[in-house]
Amino acid sequence: MNIIWLGHGSFRIEIEDQVILVDPWLTGNPMLNKEQHQPAIAGATHILVTHGHFDHIADVVQISKDTGAPVSGMYELAQYLHTQGAVEGHIFNMGGTIPLGESATACLVPASHSSSADVSGARPYMGSESGFIIRGEGHCIYVSGDTGLMADMAWIGDYFKPNVGILSAGGYYTMDMDMAAYAARTYFDFKVIIPCHYRTMPALEQSAEALAKGVLPGTSVIEPQVLEAISL
């Protein structure tokens, strides 16, 4: 399995026989130059979306058209993206689990954030913000999506028992590094943590040092580099 950061909250996850893009943001992503756009999305088989903010869905419809990858996510958000021309995937809701190919799966879980999109000068509600539990190749990955610290993490950790955490940890819009460390040691038993939604903008944290110092012994915090695979 390869987990590949595309900058900000965007990921490419190569698991089982699938290439899953999570919130792929290309245009305007300050950590991903134009020459890297095609390698980032090449061979995509699925697109998962966590919420409606521009830095998570701005390129989703075009990527879906270009790759043929279906888009799946929260009912209102996925439905909206499908009406805009994205290839239809699963329109589901909290607790629902969908297949990704023959063996991998994704389950929609809560986040604590907000979700709206810019539509004709307005900002309509796009359904509840979310995260994902992605399972395959013997791994269980918790993709937090944009979120603050929340009590729901207790049951997510207890029920799914993820061994990999992809945690928003940049602060300002989401948890900061200290909060992410608290969540990891209080609610989860991660073997590997990959921070995200940081380093992209001046308002966000630029280092995961506080996260690495705050987790339990035996937990590996890997600071991702754009388009460099983390192989597990």
Q: Give the residue carrying structure tokens 């001046």.
A: 202
Residue 23's nearest CA partner among 153, 44, 148 is 44
Question: What pLDDT score does 45 carry?
Answer: 98
Question: In the 8-state DSSP scheme, what is residue 217?
Answer: T
Write the DSSP string, 69-110. Answer: --EEEEHHHHHHHHHTTPPEEEEE-TT-EEEETTTEEEEEEE
CA distance 105 to 39: 24
Question: What pLDDT score does 122 carry?
Answer: 87
* Strand ordering across the sheet containing 2-5: 88-92, 71-74, 46-49, 18-22, 11-15, 2-5, 229-231
CA distance 77 to 91: 8
Question: What pLDDT score does 118 carry?
Answer: 87
Structure-token pair, residue 30: 């300050």
| pLDDT digit string (tens) for the chain, length 232 residues | 999 999 999 999 999 999 999 999 999 999 999 999 999 999 999 999 999 999 999 999 999 999 999 999 999 999 999 999 999 999 999 999 999 999 999 999 999 999 999 888 888 999 999 999 999 999 999 999 999 999 999 999 999 999 999 999 999 999 999 999 999 999 999 999 999 999 999 999 999 999 999 999 999 999 999 999 999 9
Read off the pTM: 0.97
Structural contact between residues 20 and 45, judged by C-beta atoms closer than 8 angstroms: yes
Q: Domain total for the chain?
A: 1
- The upper half-sphere exposure of residue 189, i.e. CA atoms within 13 Å in the direction of its Cβ, equals 6
Residue 10 maps to which CATH number? 3.60.15.10
Please list the alpha-helical segments (H only) found in 37-196: 37-41, 54-57, 60-67, 75-83, 152-160, 177-187
Enclosing domain of residue 105: 2-231
